[in-house]
Amino acid sequence: MALSLSNFLTPIVGLLALANAATITYDWNITWVDANPDGLAERPVMSINGQWPLPVLNITKGDRVIANVHNQVRDPLE
């Protein structure tokens, strides 16, 4: 097997990428809210933490994402 610089650098670059990775934790409460997502009529839509439109996820490739999801979705007509 021929030894080259890339044989040594590839694992090091991989470890550096992991060292810069962050752990991002989200706590989501899924419920219904009344909103008008398409401009036609207000109606029940699923929300995250009572928010519509849904929140933007700020993550970077390689990050570890933990999503704690609390499903409180019921039939909106009940």
Task: CATH number for 23-78: choose from 3.40.190.10, 2.60.40.420, 3.40.50.1000, 4.10.780.10.
Answer: 2.60.40.420
Task: Please state, rounded to an integer, the average pLDDT across all residues of the chain.
Answer: 84
Structure confidence at residue 21 (pLDDT): 86
Predicted pLDDT of residue 74: 84
pLDDT tens for each residue of 30-58: 999 999 999 999 999 999 999 999 999 99
pLDDT at 77: 65
According to DSSP, residue 57 is labeled: P
In a 13 Å sphere around the CA of 56, the CA atoms on its Cβ side amount to: 2
Query: Can you give the pTM of this predicted structure?
Result: 0.64
The predicted structure's pLDDT at residue 20: 76
At 50 the pLDDT is: 95
What does the domain layout of the chain look like in residue ranges? 23-78
